[in-house]
């Protein structure tokens, strides 16, 4: 069992890094001896779960990504009945997203019955700083972890309403931590408002709708229904 734990420690260290790492850094993050880490990386590379770049740094390989894709499909299938129930309660499109490598990935969606509705393709990756699901995921971390994930680089202004400084995003994250939900007021797409609540750790359930149909007050009014569904969903997971 110890060898299995060590393999998972190495893979988790690489997945959390968001960029290729050298053997020494992988060993440090995984809390393993450097010689053991090198042997594990070599074995994982032979099976395609790890890849080595030209600078002899390591990153997650395609074989691991295939496992992740299958996991997302299973997660989406499990979540879909809960999302459909949320659509009945809210009348709008409901999404489930998870945090992966500094981005939010949509893994399931149940569409609104309205002719005019918001569509987010399953598998689509969106930034954390400009989305309600991203802010909720960051709210599940400490300020230090959230700041490290945001980094120090300028954030893309997806719309004129996007928060583009780390300080502004962290302030929104702190509000989400206290209030239990986050809003995206046309920050990702003009004309779209979104409200999200956490599902366990680093996952979020959200409702998205055109701003003409979903005011900020109405979005907040959906939070209790969303939280109830999110609790059921977390229990199912």
Give the span between the Cα atoms of 124 and 131, in whole angstroms. Answer: 13
Share of the chain above pLDDT 70, in %: 95
Give the span between the Cα atoms of 138 and 27, in whole angstroms. Answer: 26
The region of weakest confidence among 35-39, 129-133, 232-236 is 232-236
Give the span between the Cα atoms of 20 and 127, in whole angstroms. Answer: 20
Residue 16: is its pLDDT beyond 70? Answer: yes
Residue-level pLDDT at 200:
83
- Give residue-wise pLDDT tens across range 43-86: 988 888 888 887 889 888 877 766 666 666 777 778 889 999 99
Model-level pTM?
Answer: 0.72
The region of weakest confidence among 126-130, 151-155, 219-223 is 151-155
- Pick the more confident residue, 7 or 176: 176
Q: For the chain, what is the HEC assignment?
A: CHHHHHHHHHHHHHHHHCCCECHHHHHHHHCCCHHHHHHHHHHHHHCCCEEECCCCCEEECHHHHHHHHHHHHHHHHHHHHHHHHHHHHHCCEEEEEEEECCEEEEEEEECCCCCCCCCCCCCCEEECCCCHHHHHHHHCCCHHHHHHHHCCCCCCCCCCCCCCCHHHHHHHHHHHHHHCCEEEECCCCCCEEEEEEECCCCEEEEEEEECCCCCHHHHHHCHHHHHHHHHHHHHHC
Q: Give the tokens for residue 107.
A: 């893994």
Give the span between the Cα atoms of 24 and 41, in whole angstroms. Answer: 11
Residue-level pLDDT at 102:
81
- Give residue-wise pLDDT tens across range 181-218: 999 999 999 999 999 999 987 889 999 999 999 999 99
For the chain, which domains are there? 2-60 (1.10.10.10), 70-236 (3.30.450.40)
- Give residue-wise pLDDT tens across range 104-127: 989 899 998 888 777 777 888 899
């Amino acid at each position: 069992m110890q060898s299995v734990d060590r393999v998972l420690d190495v893979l988790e260290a690489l997945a959390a890094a968001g960029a290729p790492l050298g053997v020494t850094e992988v060993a440090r993050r995984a809390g393993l001896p450097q010689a053991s880490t090198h042997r594990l990386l070599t074995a994982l590379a032979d099976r395609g779960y790890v890849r080595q770049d030209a600078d002899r740094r390591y990153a997650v390989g395609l074989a691991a990504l295939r496992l992740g894709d299958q996991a997302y499909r299973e997660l989406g299938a499990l979540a879909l009945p809960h999302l459909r129930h949320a659509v009945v309660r809210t009348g709008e499109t409901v999404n489930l997203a998870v945090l992966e490598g500094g981005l939010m990935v949509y893994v399931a969606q149940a569409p609104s019955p309205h002719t005019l509705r918001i569509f987010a393709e399953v598998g689509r990756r969106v930034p954390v700083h400009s989305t309600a699901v991203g802010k909720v995921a960051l709210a599940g971390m400490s300020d230090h972890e959230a700041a490290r994930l945001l980094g120090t680089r300028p954030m893309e202004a997806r719309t004129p309403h996007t928060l583009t400084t780390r300080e502004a995003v962290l302030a929104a994250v702190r509000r989400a931590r206290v209030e239990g939900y986050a809003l995206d007021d046309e920050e990702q797409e003009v004309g779209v408002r979104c409200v999200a609540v956490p599902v366990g750790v680093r996952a979020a359930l959200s409702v998205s709708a055109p701003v003409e149909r979903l005011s900020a007050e109405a979005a907040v009014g959906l939070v209790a229904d969303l939280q109830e569904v999110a609790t059921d969903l977390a229990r199912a997971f």
